[in-house]
């Protein structure tokens, strides 16, 4: 990204689905397919240390991470790149003598995409 674009605030401009978001930067800002992003919400309430009264800033809540899948000149579509872990599924045969000879079948599920956590237009985005 050029020097002038590194300070640009990146935000969600459209929630396409719970796993797909559009953001306000694109190829003109140096974004390429495969680039990774962190999506987060900044709370509007300033946090203060209850003992000293010192400002601690504003709480950030992570909505998820994503990868650029479609890059236009001024905007990009990102999709969640978080996946559930593969799960082991064991099937045992029914009852009877023949079933004992069959043994058990072990399969692994394909990891499913984990959606963004309640994304909103205006949520902040950082390239990671």
Which pLDDT score, from 0 to 100, does residue 68 have? 98
Instruction: Please tell me the distance from the alpha carbon of residue 128 to that of residue 45, in angstroms, as a whole number.
Output: 26
Instruction: Please tell me the distance from the alpha carbon of residue 77 to that of residue 13, in angstroms, as a whole number.
Output: 10
Residue 106 within any structural domain of the chain: no
Give the structural domain span for 70.
3-83+112-127
Residue 91 within any structural domain of the chain: no
Mean pLDDT of the chain: 87
pLDDT in tens, 35-53: 999 999 999 999 999 999 9
CATH number at residue 7: 2.40.10.410
Calculated CA dihedral for residues 62, 66, 71, 73, nearest 10 degrees = 10
Number of domains within the chain? 1
């Amino acid at each position: 990204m050029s020097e002038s674009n590194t300070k640009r605030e990146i935000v969600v401009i459209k929630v396409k689905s719970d796993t797909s978001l559009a953001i306000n930067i694109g190829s003109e800002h140096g974004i390429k397919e495969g680039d990774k992003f962190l999506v987060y919400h900044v709370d509007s309430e300033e946090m203060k240390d209850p003992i000293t009264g010192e400002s601690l800033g504003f709480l950030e809540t992570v909505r998820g991470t994503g990868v650029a899948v479609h890059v236009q000149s001024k905007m990009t579509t990102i999709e969640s790149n978080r996946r559930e872990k593969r799960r082991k599924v064991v099937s045992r045969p029914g009852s009877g003598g023949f079933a004992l000879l069959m043994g058990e079948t072990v399969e692994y599920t394909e990891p499913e995409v984990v959606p963004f956590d309640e994304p909103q237009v205006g949520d902040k985005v950082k390239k990671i």
